[in-house]
Amino acid sequence: MISVVIPMYNEAESVAALCGQVNDALATAPWSWEVVFVNDGSSDATVEKLTEQVRRFPDRFLLVDLQRNFGQTAALMAGIDHARGDIIVPMDGDLQNDPKDIARLVAKIGEGFDVVSGWRRNRQDASLRRVLPSRIANKLISVISGVHLHDYGCSLKAYRRDVLVGFRLYGEMHRFVPIFARWQGARITEMVVDHHPRQFGTSKYGLERIFKVLLDLLLVKFLTQYETKPIYVFGGVGAMFFGLSGIATIYAFFLKFFNHISFIQTPLPLMVMFGTMTGIMCILLGLIAEVLVRIYFESQGKTQYTVRKVVRQNGDAPADGKGAA
Ligand code: UDP
Ligand code: MG
């Protein structure tokens, strides 16, 4: 079963057209499907309009109504938690994505991919304010994460459910799901999807999103590469400060013995102290982080690895008794 998950925040004018488009696009689909709408604390008539649609098509549509506005990422998470499908297809509810693309994404998953990322090659948004910053951000995210996709920001993607278990999303992190999935070993690819200009309502984001995305990127880099060994990061930074303090020490002695400049005539002793203190602090923070990691993994029964499958030749008999010696 395919679950299309659509977060909606003040998109009342789009609801009827959206439901019509989804119904049309999926009417002939060869698999069963559902749409999980998430009302993210809208202050307009979105929830009434969605309720009406769910009443009309109770076996296809589901509405998760959040208490207040939690943001797109949290809304998406809520939708995924309520979705029953083994393939999850998130999408925007503002008619900018085209439900006709869903079948193509799902077909690609059928070819053996775990994640198919939509790419709005002909993006229909303000070019200078939206498309350019997003281009730069996508390049940066690709380089830093080592996962090369053209369009992280595109909501329309398809995931096999298995790759979504094991991590929760916070902040503006939904765009980084392919990276998390890749780091867990998922096979990912991308596919060009249609994009339309916004017909109703306004975009919910401004330029401040750039800063949030950059900070999240830093966190993602940290989480994906050092989640199980934070002391390598803290230790590395600590080593840099020790190095700084070492260089300052050598230079201070050099000045004293060759140029006869006393220690206290330069700021070098201050730098030695500063470097040493900060280095020690970094190492200690790293130790605390190691403790936190253990609490994180062990309290939740998480593993540091992800298994695709286990193949066993002459092991224990499976529950149904087949293959017993
Ligand atoms: N959205 C949401 N909660 C928010 C902000 C946005 O559920 O706090 C939804 C919004 O209704 C839309 C999708 O997320 O369905 C993408 O938002 P938007 O179109 O404003 O982003 P843009 O396309 O401009 O990047
Ligand atoms: Mg939009």
How far apart CA 182 and CA 174 sit, in angstroms, is: 14
Q: What is the per-residue pLDDT across 109-131, written as a single tens digit (0 to 9) for each?
A: 999 999 999 999 999 988 888 88
Same domain, 167 and 205: yes
What pLDDT is recorded for position 139? Answer: 94
CA of 58 to the centre of ligand 1 (A): 25
Q: Bridge-partner residues for 188, per DSSP?
A: 115
> Stretch 200-208: mean pLDDT, rounded?
88
Residue 316 in domain: no
Whether 313 maps to a domain, the answer reads no
Domain membership of residue 64 as a residue range: 2-224
Residues 149 and 217 in one domain: yes
Distance 9 CA to ligand 1 centre (A): 6
Whether 136 and 10 share a structural domain: yes
Looking at 221-288, which runs of residues are DSSP E strands?
A: none
Cα–ligand 1 centroid distance for 225 (angstroms): 29
Q: Is residue 312 part of a domain?
A: no
pTM for the whole thing? 0.84
Q: How many domains does the chain divide into? A: 2
Residues 141, 13: one domain?
Answer: yes
Closest ligand 1 atom, residue 92 Cα: 15
For residue 129, the ligand closest to its alpha carbon is 1
Amino acid identity, residue 76? L
Ligand positioned closest to the Cα atom of 18: 1
Residues 46, 11: contact at Cβ < 8 Å? yes
Residues 256-276: pLDDT tens digits?
999 999 998 999 999 999 999
- Please check whether residues 26 and 172 belong to one and the same domain: yes
Task: Tell me, yes or no, whether 255 lies in a domain.
Answer: yes
Residues with CB under 6 A from ligand 1: 7-9, 11, 40, 69, 71-72, 75, 92-94, 96, 203-205
**263/219 same-domain check:** no
Quickly count helices (H) and strands (E) in the chain.
9, 7
Per-residue pLDDT tens digits for 56-92: 999 999 999 999 999 999 999 999 999 999 999 999 9
Among the bound ligands, the one closest to the CA of 205? 1
Would 321 be classed as within a structural domain?
Answer: no
Residues 235 and 217 in one domain: no
- Atom number of ligand 1 nearest to Cα 202: 20
Reported as a single tens digit per residue, the pLDDT across 4-60 is 999 999 999 999 999 999 999 999 999 999 999 999 999 999 999 999 999 999 999
> 157 and 140: one domain?
yes
Residues 153 and 257 in one domain: no
Share of the chain above pLDDT 70, in %: 97
pLDDT value at residue 224:
80
**276 within a domain of the structure (yes/no):** yes
Which pLDDT does position 321 carry in this prediction? 45
CA of 155 to the centre of ligand 1 (A): 9
In a domain, 309, yes or no: no
Distance CA 255, CA 89 (A): 65
- Name the token pair of 106: 């799902």
Q: What is the mean pLDDT of the chain?
A: 91
Instruction: Using the mean position of ligand 1's atoms as its centre, give its distance from the Cα of residue 200 in Å.
Output: 12
Is 26 inside any structural domain?
A: yes
CATH number assigned to the domain comprising residue 31 = 3.90.550.10
Q: What is the pLDDT of residue 101?
A: 97
